[in-house]
Amino acid sequence: PSRNRADPPLGGAGDPAAAMAASDVPMSPELEQVDGEIQDIFRALHNGFQKIDKMKDSNRQSKQLEELTGKMRECKRLIKEFDRVLKDEEKRNTSEVNKQLNDKKQFMIKELNSYVTMRKTYQSSLGNKRIELFDAGNDQVAEDNVQMASEMSNQQLIDSGMKQMDQTDQAIERSKMVVAQTVEVGAQTATTLTQQTDQMKRIGNELDSVHFSLKKASQMVKEIGRQVVATDKCIMGFLFLIVCGVIAIIVVKIVNPHNKSIPDIPGLAPPAPPAQNRKLLSVDPFRML
Read off the pLDDT of residues 151-162 as tens digits, 9 standing for 90 and up: 556 777 788 788
167 lies in some domain: no
Domain span at 84: 29-133+185-224
**pLDDT attached to residue 252:** 81
pLDDT of residue 65: 85
pLDDT attached to residue 60? 83
Q: Determine the Cα–Cα distance for residues 213 and 98; give it in Å rounded to an integer.
A: 70
Is 79 a member of any domain? Answer: yes
Does any domain span residue 190?
yes
Q: Give the confidence band of 203 by pLDDT, cuts at 50, 70, 90.
A: very high
* Banded pLDDT at 200 (limits 50, 70, 90): very high
Range with the poorest average pLDDT among 107-116, 160-169, 235-244:
160-169
Mean pLDDT of 84-95: 85
Closest CA to 71 of 4, 10, 119, 110: 119
Q: Mean pLDDT, to the nearest integer, of 11-20? A: 42
Q: Is the residue at 255 inside a domain?
A: no
Q: How confident is the model at residue 255 (pLDDT cuts 50, 70, 90)?
A: confident
Higher pLDDT, 18 or 77: 77
Q: Using an 8 Å Cβ cutoff, are 75 and 38 in contact?
A: yes
pLDDT of 139: 44
**Residue 74 falls within a domain, yes or no?**
yes
User: Rounded to an integer, what distance in angstroms lies between the CA atom of residue 283 and that of residue 40?
Assistant: 143
Q: How many domains would you assign to the chain?
A: 1
Q: What is the rounded CA–CA span in Å between residue 64 and residue 56?
A: 12
In a domain, 60, yes or no: yes
Domain presence at residue 231: no
Phi, psi of 267 (to 5 degrees): 90, -10
Assess if residue 140 is contained within a domain.
Answer: no
User: Among 49-63, 67-81, 95-109, 259-273, which stretch is predicted with the lowest mean pLDDT?
Assistant: 259-273
Tell me the CB-side half-sphere exposure of residue 39, using CA atoms within 13 A.
17
